[in-house]
Amino acid sequence: MCGICGIYNASSKETASRAIIERMTRLMTHRGPDDNGLHLDGPLGLGFARLSIIDLDGSHQPMCNETGEIWLVFNGEIWNYQALRRELEKKGHRFRTKGDSETILHAYEEYGTDCVAHLHGMFGFAIWDSCRQRLFLARDRAGKKPLYYTCVDGNFIFASEIKALLGHPHVRREPDVQALADFLSIRYVPAPATLFANIYKIRPGHWLLYEHGTIRETCYWDYTFSRTEQRSIEEYIQNIKQHIYRAVEERMIADVPVGALLSGGVDSSIISGVMSRLSRHKVETFAVGFDHPDYSELPYARLVADHFGTNHHELLVQSSDLTRYWPQLTWHRDEPVSEPSDLGIYLVSKLARQYVKVVLSGEGGDELFAGYPKYIVDWMARYYQLLPMTIRNSMIMPLLEHLPYSMRKLKQAARNLSEPAPERWMSWFGIFNGHFKESLLANEVKQCIDLDASRQFKSWLAANPQCDDLSAMLYLDTKIWLPDNLLMKGDKMTMAASLELRVPLLDHQLIEYAATIPSQSKIRPFQAKYLLKQTFADFLPAPILTRKKMGFNVPTGIWFREGQRGIITRLLLSERLRQRGYFNNRFIASMVRDHLEGRTNYQAQLFTLASLELWFRVFIDSPDLTIPNGSVEDLLNEEKSLEARISQL
């Protein structure tokens, strides 16, 4: 895993700036502390920061072909590089290194832009073709590795992280107001947009060509939910197991120690268990818990670790850790911290990095095999909609209002069961929706944006118009929720600790196979992830299969009412936030008051707003791009001291 960056100005006769490339690369040192490199070719400049995983002494980048005409910077891993290498050698290609990076160069020589179809892996790379005077960029199918770009003053600029783009002196640090509104609704920004104006993500499964001053982005991979003949459960189980064992084995390939992140949930337990079966040594596993017993999964993680005999390591996160690390998390994330679970991933990654350089995790199991409770609730919508409206309004809705906050998602979903898809699906992860969002935003902002964040989902659904509702939800989550939130979070938080993250369950062949399985085989009434659990029923400890799904929840509601309430008040009721002009500040003040007095639990909303305000202070207000050293309180105190000094001038 690495950090890559580059600049190209097709209309300039000046040599690309070495100082700018070096600065962009330094801003990603955490992604690659082992090595760095730079290549200049007239108006083209490439930068590289390396975390050495395979071919530790070779594979220095930027890397060129034999003639020096084609140059590569590459972040990620190619799982089939050895087989692809043999194929290319038969065609006459000669290799100088033992790693996977050079395979991409020769594949491009042989297949051109179609080379991505031959690559099985996780990647974000850029190729400079000096003969054609063009840049070719590509991102892996599932979006495991990030890749951003911008065009400004004739410069095409790309990087693995946004902060590296901001290291170019011509790139402005300005918020995108439409993206800001979308973030408030769903807590992330769907590709290709980012929260920065004029900075974009390359979509998963896409490549981009920059040639003659123009950009062309093309989709090279997608999948559909084909209507295949129903097979037996036994056949599905056998094939799923084969795919997962193959995917895990491929992702254990490394010249450095490999471990696993273990939450104690079904997916991470499967990964840890399969690794234990395939490894000749004890697997190192890592878990994180929180200082409130209702939010800690450590007992389940220990159960799995004991069951498979792993070398298990764990840590406990305290409430003070949130405000201590929040500014740094924001800097590493490039965008606001979408959920407080970033904290746990970051800290457990720092723990893991003391023992290993690579970890496997279980992301993707819920999205491929219908593991979230929302899938069950939505499946029930067809029956709910058969009830007369009078019964829904007079009996069911009043009962739902008395459910505790811990069942808030059920309440949200039930309120929207009468709505058409995808509007009702928005209710599951929406933070500020409908009238709530209108009350929050300033009038000037509402006049220049589209308040309906569901437009993002409708455009994706058009690609699979024949899907049943469950398949459509799984498709949306795989194409948007995973790459733009979960995988982005996983990449940025593990890379902050110089740790490589691999996700076997998002192997593209497994994704394609899961899409051929009919919905009725994936779930049962009140049984999410039915098929995947059946596949490993004799493999995992029984309590793991029957436990209630927790997700990676963090007790922010408790923290905000207790030790951290002053921080939230100072952030959200600050003069600086008021002067930004994006929000109805009276509405924010009423939310803070109602939450602190216990009348309403606004923990998700307050965390989202506080994260956004911190992002403004770290990236928009700050005079430079250095990582914040202190806590939120330190940041606020420094600003207060600075404002006092300015007022005395």
Note whether 72 and 188 are same-domain residues: yes
Note whether 48 and 110 are same-domain residues: yes
Query: Is residue 224 domain-resident?
Result: no
Q: Domain boundary residue among 219, 243, 262?
A: 219
pLDDT of residue 433: 80
Q: Within 10 A of 498 (CB to CB), how many other CB atoms are there?
A: 18
Known binding positions for ATP: 261, 288, 361-362
Note whether 528 and 471 are same-domain residues: no
Note whether 92 and 25 are same-domain residues: yes
- How confident is residue 645, by pLDDT bands cut at 50, 70 and 90? very low
In this structure, the strands spanning 155-159 and 2-8 are antiparallel
Indicate if 2 belongs to the active site.
Answer: yes
Measure the CA–CA gap between 347 and 332, rounded to whole angstroms: 13
Query: Is residue 225 domain-resident?
Result: no
Query: Is residue 305 domain-resident?
Result: yes
Q: What are phi and psi of 149, to 5 degrees?
A: -155, 165
Known binding positions for L-glutamine: 100
Note whether 319 and 336 are same-domain residues: yes
Q: Which of 2, 5, 115, 467 is catalytic?
A: 2
Note whether 139 and 78 are same-domain residues: yes
Long-range contact set of residues 622-630: C-beta below 8 Å, sequence gap at least 24: 625/27, 625/163, 625/166, 625/167, 627/328, 627/331, 627/332, 628/327, 628/328, 628/330, 628/331, 630/327
Q: Domain boundary residue among 159, 189, 219?
A: 219
Query: Is residue 226 domain-resident?
Result: no
Measure the CA–CA gap between 475 and 493, rounded to whole angstroms: 25
pLDDT in tens, 82-91: 999 999 999 9
pLDDT in tens, 210-229: 999 999 999 999 998 877 77
Query: Is residue 227 domain-resident?
Result: no
Note whether 404 and 441 are same-domain residues: yes
When pLDDT is averaged across residues 432-456 and rounded to a whole number, the result is 90
pLDDT of residue 550: 64
Assigned token pair, 3: 């950090």
Note whether 346 and 377 are same-domain residues: no
pLDDT in tens, 260-316: 999 999 999 999 999 999 999 999 999 999 877 676 789 999 999 999 999 999 999
Number of domains in the chain: 4
Note whether 10 and 81 are same-domain residues: yes
Which helix (H) or strand (E) covers residue 251, if one does? helix 233-251
Residue 601 structural domain: 556-647
Give yes or no for a cis peptide into 373 (omega within 30° of 0).
no
Note whether 402 and 274 are same-domain residues: no
Measure the CA–CA gap between 361 and 288, rounded to whole angstroms: 13
pLDDT in tens, 11-25: 887 889 999 999 999
Taking each continuous run of H as one helix and of E as one strand, the counts in the chain are 31, 17
pLDDT in tens, 509-531: 999 999 999 999 999 888 899 99
Note whether 512 and 449 are same-domain residues: no
- Predicted confidence (pLDDT) at residue 378 exceeds the cutoff of 90: no
The letter for the amino acid at 292 is H
Q: Domain boundary residue among 187, 219, 251?
A: 219
Query: Is residue 228 domain-resident?
Result: no
Residue 537 burial (10 A CB sphere; 0-12, 13-18, 19+): exposed
